[in-house]
Amino acid sequence: MSSIKMFEKPLGMRDTFPQIYEKVEAVRNTGRDFLCSRGYEFIKTPAVEYFDTVGKASAIADAHLFKLVDSQGNTLVLRPDMTTPIARVATSKLLKEMIPIRLAYFASVFRAQETEGGRPAEFDQMGIELIGDNSVFADAEVIVTAMELLQQYGLTKFKVTIGHAGILNCILQDYTESVEQQDILRTLLVQRNYVGFEEAVESFDLPKAKTDALLQFIEEAMNLKQIKDIEKYVRKNDALEYMQQLAKLLEIANLADYVAFDFTLSSHMSYYTGMLFEVFALGSGFPLGNGGRYDGLLEVFGSKVGATGFSIRVDRLLETLDGLANEREEAVVVLFEEEQFEEALAKVQALRVAGKQATLQLRSSLVDEKAFLAYFSEVVVVGQEEVGGE
């Protein structure tokens, strides 16, 4: 280990320079206006939570949590997501006032530090939680909101893939012969190891009809344009009806073009009991975000009202928005000499009242006047007549 140099930040941490800051701020403002206009209220929770509560309940695997110890010796985590803290606040307080509730956030979340680049330990997430509504309309609202939020940023090349834990479970139950086989297959799907899935199915020595059905399922079920394509694999059940209804609602909302169904979608977390989805867009190598129904998480916190939501990673959203306008407002600098301070102050205040972004700068402090002035669209030198910008 080399010693720490003075300029270094802890592993996985990033600075936000003014240019990026403005972009993030633009994304935040657009998102905030959009979500507020749909009745979602913004909320903030502490950056640090107990490992035993939020840490253990979170969908983020234990090894990926950023852990600390408090002065009493309790293990703490830097919040790994916003869904779990919001579930904590909602069940302990907010749900007593109103059901359902609609909450939104824009906050940084944390992961265990990793040595490989491109895996920040802190990044911003934006999302919503709709808590206390069990209906398919709530799930539809969440998916529609996610898609329309992306449209709000001018994204057109994105895709949402939707699956349902209930349908996957039904298929795995029907075509295998033991719980162990189901677990093996589910684990392989979480790892997205489709080759392993086929190998496992063949090694189970199932009746030919079941083997064939599973092999055909794995070939087709990752990318279904329409919900009716899955119907031949599943018995009529609640999950299927639910998804049929959801598909219809998305069609009514005119967003069916952005949707694909993937019934191999599976989460390592058992509390994703219902619909779940992932959001992809060209421009980022990693998924933009995900969401789903997480009734089980609320149960961990002692409530049975059900909840659904989504989150988008802001850093990845920015990668897909490289065309995002980065115009600096009209920026004026007022240069003055020491004895001209009063005059300069009046000048700069007049500019600010006129709505301009105006900087006041003592001329003799400039080290490289040319480099400094390049940042401004207009330069005013006190005591001289207006001088044009660059």
User: Rounded to 5 degrees, what are φ and ψ at 270?
Assistant: -70, -15
Residue 30 C-beta: closest distance to other proteins, Å = 22
* Distance from C-alpha of 47 to C-alpha of 288, rounded to nearest angstrom: 22
Residue 118 C-beta: closest distance to other proteins, Å = 6
* Distance from C-alpha of 278 to C-alpha of 292, rounded to nearest angstrom: 9
Strand-pairing partners, residue 387, are: 379
Residue closer to other proteins (CB basis): 118 or 302 = 118
Residue 38 C-beta: closest distance to other proteins, Å = 26
Q: Which one of the spans 16-24, 54-62, 163-171, 194-202 is the region binding other proteins (CB under 8 A)? A: 194-202
Detail the DSSP E strand segments found in 286-330. 289-293, 307-313
Residue closer to other proteins (CB basis): 194 or 301 = 194
Interface with other proteins, residue 268, by CB under 8 A: no
Interface with other proteins, residue 352, by CB under 8 A: no
213-252 as b/e: b if 16+ CB within 10 A? bbeebbeebbebeebeebeebbeeeebbebbebbbebbee
In this structure, the strands spanning 259-261 and 158-164 are parallel
Residue 303 C-beta: closest distance to other proteins, Å = 32
For residue 3, how far is the Cα from the chain centroid? 35
Interface with other proteins, residue 281, by CB under 8 A: yes
Look up residue 72 and give its DSSP letter.
Answer: T
Candidate residues 40, 66, 280, 376; the one interacting with other proteins per rule CB under 8 A? 280
Contact indicator for 248, 217 with CB cutoff of 8 Å = no
Interface with other proteins, residue 192, by CB under 8 A: yes
Candidate residues 27, 149, 260, 332; the one interacting with other proteins per rule CB under 8 A? 260
Interface with other proteins, residue 296, by CB under 8 A: no
Q: Which residues touch 62 (CB under 8 Å, ≥6 apart)?
A: 55, 56
Residue 269 C-beta: closest distance to other proteins, Å = 16
Candidate residues 159, 210, 248, 363; the one interacting with other proteins per rule CB under 8 A? 159
Residues numbered 102 to 131 that lie near other proteins (CB under 8 A) are: 118
Candidate residues 11, 98, 99, 282; the one interacting with other proteins per rule CB under 8 A? 282
Residue closer to other proteins (CB basis): 35 or 275 = 275
Residue 171 C-beta: closest distance to other proteins, Å = 19
Q: Which one of the spans 240-248, 275-283, 340-348, 361-369 is the region binding other proteins (CB under 8 A)? A: 275-283
* Distance from C-alpha of 176 to C-alpha of 209, rounded to nearest angstrom: 11
Q: Which candidate, 308, 288, 286, places its Cα nearest to that of 297?
A: 308
Q: Which candidate, 272, 288, 251, places its Cα nearest to that of 167?
A: 272
Candidate residues 42, 194, 301, 372; the one interacting with other proteins per rule CB under 8 A? 194
Residue 160 C-beta: closest distance to other proteins, Å = 9
Q: Which one of the spans 19-27, 142-150, 274-282, 332-340 is the region binding other proteins (CB under 8 A)? A: 274-282
Q: Which one of the spans 126-134, 155-163, 227-235, 297-305 is the region binding other proteins (CB under 8 A)? A: 155-163
* Type and span of the H or E element at 164: strand 158-164
Interface with other proteins, residue 63, by CB under 8 A: no
* Distance from C-alpha of 29 to C-alpha of 46, rounded to nearest angstrom: 21
Candidate residues 137, 286, 341, 375; the one interacting with other proteins per rule CB under 8 A? 286
Q: Which one of the spans 61-69, 131-139, 186-194, 360-368 is the region binding other proteins (CB under 8 A)? A: 186-194
Interface with other proteins, residue 190, by CB under 8 A: no
User: Rounded to 5 degrees, what are φ and ψ at 96?
Assistant: -75, -15
Side chain identity at residue 255, one-letter code:
L
Candidate residues 74, 193, 226, 349; the one interacting with other proteins per rule CB under 8 A? 193
* Distance from C-alpha of 371 to C-alpha of 324, rounded to nearest angstrom: 25
CA triplet 304, 250, 276: central angle to 5 degrees? 45
Strand-pairing partners, residue 83, are: none
Interface with other proteins, residue 223, by CB under 8 A: yes
Binding site for other proteins (CB under 8 A): 118, 157, 159, 161, 191-196, 198-199, 223, 260, 278, 280-282, 284-287
